[in-house]
Amino acid sequence: MTDPIVSIRGVSKKFPGGVIAVDDVNIDIAPNEFFALLGPSGCGKTTLLRMISGLETPTDGQIIIGGQDMALTPPNKRPTNMVFQSYAVFPHMTVEENVAYGLRVTGVPEDETKRRTAEALEMVKLSHLAKRKPDQMSGGQRQRVALARALVKRPKVLLLDEPLSALDAKLRDDMRMELTRLQETVGITFIIVTHDQDEALSMASRIAVIDKGAVQQIATPSELYEQPATRFVADFIGKVNLIDAKVLSKKAKAITCEAKGLGKLTFDTEKACGDTVAVAVRPEKLKISKAEPKAAGLIKVQGNVRDVAYYGDTSHIVVSIKGGPDLQVNVQNDSRTGGSGVERGQAIWVSWMPDDSLVLTE
Amino acid sequence: MAEQMKPGSGPLDYGNRLWLKILFGVIFFMLYVPIITLVAFSFNTDRRGIVWRGFTFDNYVKAWNNSSLIEAMINSLMIAFIATLIATVLGAMVALMLWRFRFPFKGAYEAFMGLPIVIPEICMGVALLLFFNETGMMTAVVAMPWPLNLSNIIIAHVAFCFPFVAIVVRSRLVGFNRQLEEASKDLGASEWQTFWKVIVPFMMPGLVAGALLAFTLSLDDFVITFFTSGPETVTFPVKVYSLVRRGVSPEINAASTVLIVITVVATVLAMKLQAPQKSGKG
């Protein structure tokens, strides 16, 4: 890995009153990455972002940007710029003045300011609205102003706090693509904070999942989905079936366990574990059949269909099994007739390849 | 009269109800007729100013030539101008402090700051008079050259004007989005630049409104001025009072009309400045 542009080392933030918002976080972010901080609301991800920008000071640890410790650098001297959740566009200035603000206050010559402002407005496709005041613009347009205003400063790192949360669904999709495109064109490291897993999965090159102030896992989107490290990550990213299991025996490279409703199972894993583990399997990896599947090596269980939800392209079938939790199975409706062909109350077999499931030890 | 006053028909169409129309008419009548009469009679030729005899500008010429009246007017404007300036700066600073910082006894401070608004003017007048007498400022200041001889009155006016400014500006600041300040700093601005380029423009409508309030309050204050002015210094309200005791003359009407015009023009200007600019296309 090349030298990280942002290095967060052992950073903690305790608020007066004893609330620990961020707890010993270590993250290295490479230049040019589109990095997402993902977690439920109140998990400390925004506090972490604000500490990178300098608007909040860590109680412990170091934040290093571009090789320099930022401990004593105030926000106005840091090579970072932020797009705020409320956009924070200055209401008394025109779009042009808003974008030029960061250059004017730092004494950039006026002709250069004009040129760079025009370029930035061009980049976010707002040139035609340069003379407007923010109160005459839509939320999406205001966000573009905030974006241009931050990018015009050519920061090493652009910080985005929930950039899509205030937009409606259609705009959100457009903006998502726009942000990815911008990141590729300008070649600046983006760090985005979001609580929306779809947003993180579809835009980011790497994601840090945060829960209760602590990093749960840092991985690429597909790793995060296919190889979640903890129960929390598996459950937070997408839908997952989690089956509690009791460990019966443990060898160097395999665990044998008694999973609720499934019986004795053996998994290849090198991870250390306690007395209980969880078997995780994504709903789309499960297969259903009326007759008992014959293929060797499958994990299979018989149950009754408790619910069928039709979503057009897919159907979500909930199967209740004896002695275990309900399992959700997502099937593609690839024939035009009959949907999933499954009815409520019907007896059915659920099966999957052992490799498609995962043992979670924590 | 009631026919001409067409109250705007609001979303609830109150303007369509007859009794409300009449009520509006009566209220406007009561409010404005005395003022309109005052203005009208400033153009009257009658010396006693009671019966309408004909149109003339003579009263304005006479008022203009009445040096003591003009002197009182200039004193009043001078006091109002300086007191407004000081009260606005002071009030804005107090508002910022109350908005921005947390400190011990903040609640008590905020309550005490508002006292000059509720204390009866007469008490404030007496208190200030005693203060100026005890400190020797009364005799010292009166001996000074103009406009320093107005200092006592200016101090007294600042004392009762600045809480109004502080309250108006503070209520404006409540609506301030702190992220604007953070954005400014994030974009490279210092505290000082952030203050002048982001916070002050945001406060501006409050500052203008507060200053306007202070100016009008100072310009027409009688009680406190009466107590704190020396025997030599006379302000316009005090002068009018002394003249009226010798009978109303159309000159006073003329001078008062000028005062009304000044105030109205100032108000309209301030409101224009305050209004959100409707620039840009569509």
The whole-number pLDDT of residue B185 equals 93
Please report, in tens digits, the pLDDT of each residue of chain A (362 residues total): 578 899 999 999 998 888 899 999 999 999 999 999 999 988 899 999 999 999 999 999 999 999 899 989 999 999 999 999 989 999 999 999 999 999 999 999 999 999 999 999 998 889 999 999 998 898 889 999 999 999 999 999 999 999 888 788 888 888 888 899 889 888 899 999 999 888 899 899 999 999 999 999 999 999 999 889 888 999 898 889 998 888 888 777 788 888 888 878 888 777 777 788 888 999 999 988 888 888 888 888 888 999 888 888 888 999 998 888 889 999 888 777 666 678 888 889 999 988 888 888 77
CATH class of domain segment(s) A239-360: mainly beta
Residue B8 has pLDDT above 60, yes or no: no
**Chain B hits for A55, Cβ within 8 Å:** 182, 185-186
Task: Let me know if A80 is exposed, middle or buried by CB neighbors in 10 A (0-12, 13-18, 19+).
Answer: buried
pLDDT at B14: 60
From the list A75, A86, A92, the residue facing B186 with the nearest CB is: A75
- pLDDT at residue B49 in the model: 61
Domain locations in chain A as residue ranges: 6-232, 239-360
Between B216 and A64, where is the model more confident? A64
Give the pLDDT confidence of B131-171 residue by residue, as tens digits: 988 888 877 777 777 777 888 899 999 998 999 999 889 98
- Per residue in B94-115, pLDDT (tens digit) is 999 999 888 888 889 888 888 8
Give the dihedral sign, CA B5/B11/B17/B20: negative
Q: What is the pLDDT of residues A20-66, one digit of tens each?
A: 999 999 999 999 999 999 999 888 999 999 999 999 999 999 999 99
Give the rounded distance of the alpha carbon of B217 from its chain centre.
4
What's residue B282's pLDDT? 29
Q: For residues B271 and B211, give the distance between their C-alpha atoms in angstroms, rounded to a whole number.
A: 12
Whole-prediction pTM? 0.79
| Closest by Cα among B227, B258, B231, B234 to B64 | B258
Please state the φ and ψ torsions of residue B36, each to the nearest 5 degrees: -60, -40
pLDDT at position B219 over 80? yes
Class for domain B62-274, per CATH?
A: mainly alpha
- Reduced 3-state DSSP string for chain B: CCCCCCCCCCCCCHHHCHHHHHHHHHHHHHHHHHHHHHHHHCCECCCCCCCCCCECCHHHHHHHHCHHHHHHHHHHHHHHHHHHHHHHHHHHHHHHHHHHCCCCCHHHHHHHHCHHHHCCHHHHHHHHHHHHHHCCHHHHHHCCCCCHHHHHHHHHHHHHHHHHHHHHHHHHHHCCCHHHHHHHHHCCCCHHHHHHHHHHHHHHHHHHHHHHHHHHHHHCCCHHHHHHCCCCCCCHHHHHHHHHCCCCCHHHHHHHHHHHHHHHHHHHHHHHHHCCCCCCCC
pLDDT band of B2, cuts 50, 70, 90? very low
Write out the H or E segment, with its range, that includes residue A307: strand A299-310
A81 at the B interface (CB within 8 A)?
Answer: yes
Tens-digit pLDDT profile for residues B240-273 = 888 888 777 788 888 888 888 888 887 787 677 6
Q: Are strands A60-65 and A34-38 parallel, antiparallel or unpaired?
A: unpaired
Q: Token match 């990093």: residue?
A: A215
Cα(B228)–Cα(B129) distance, rounded to whole angstroms?
A: 5
Q: Nearest CA of chain B to the CA of A30: how many Å?
A: 22
CA distance A43 to A287: 35
Question: Which candidate from A53, A77, A105 shows the least CB-CB separation from B193?
Answer: A105
How far does Cα A42 stand from its chain's mean position? 15
A6-232 under CATH 3.90.650.10, yes or no: no
Residues of A in contact with B198 (CB under 8 A): 90
* Nearest one of B71, B68, B226 to B157, comparing CA atoms: B226
Token output for A218: 């840092």
Residue pairs spanning A and B at CB distance below 8 A? 76
CA proximity to A204, closest of A183, A173, A227, A233: A183
Kindly identify which residue of chain A lies nearest to residue B205, measuring between CA atoms: A92
pLDDT in tens, B11-46: 556 666 788 888 888 999 898 888 888 888 888 887
Question: Is the CB of A74 inside 8 Å of chain B's CB atoms?
Answer: yes
A149, B188: Cβ pair inside 8 Å?
no
- Measured between CA atoms, the residue of chain B closest to residue A86 is B179
Q: Retrieve residue A27's tokens.
A: 């993250």
B62 vs A52, more confident? A52
**Mutate: best of A84, A99, A152, A161, partner B, most B CBs <10 A:** A84
Q: How many Å from the N-terminal Cα to the C-terminal Cα in chain B?
A: 39
Residue type present at position A64: I
Residues of B in contact with A131 (CB under 8 A): 279-281
Q: What is the largest CA-CA distance in chain B?
A: 71
Asked if B280 lies within 8 A of A84 by C-beta distance, the reply is: no
- Return the sign of the alpha-carbon dihedral for residues A331, A334, A339, A340: negative
Distance CA B234, CA B156 (A): 15
Going from the C-alpha of A316 to that of each of A37, A235, A345, the distances in angstroms are 29, 17, 15
Question: Which two tokens mark A249?
Answer: 């025996």
Neighbours of B198 (CB within 10 A): 24
Domain extent listing, chain B: 14-60, 62-274
- What single-letter DSSP state applies at residue A188? -
CA distance A357 to A241: 9
Residue A135: closest C-alpha in chain B: B276
Check CB contact of A149 with chain B, cutoff 8 Å.
yes
A108 touches chain B (CB under 8 A): no
Q: Are B92 and B207 in contact (CB under 8 A)?
A: yes
Give yes or no for a contact between A236 and A40, defined as CB atoms under 8 angstroms apart.
Answer: yes
Tokens 């209220």 correspond to B27
Q: What is the pLDDT of residues A46-58, one digit of tens each?
A: 999 999 999 999 9
| % of chain B surpassing 90 pLDDT | 24
Q: Chain B contact for A154, CB < 8 A? A: no
Of B182, B189, B193, the CB nearest to A88: B182
Question: What are the tokens at B123?
Answer: 């008490």
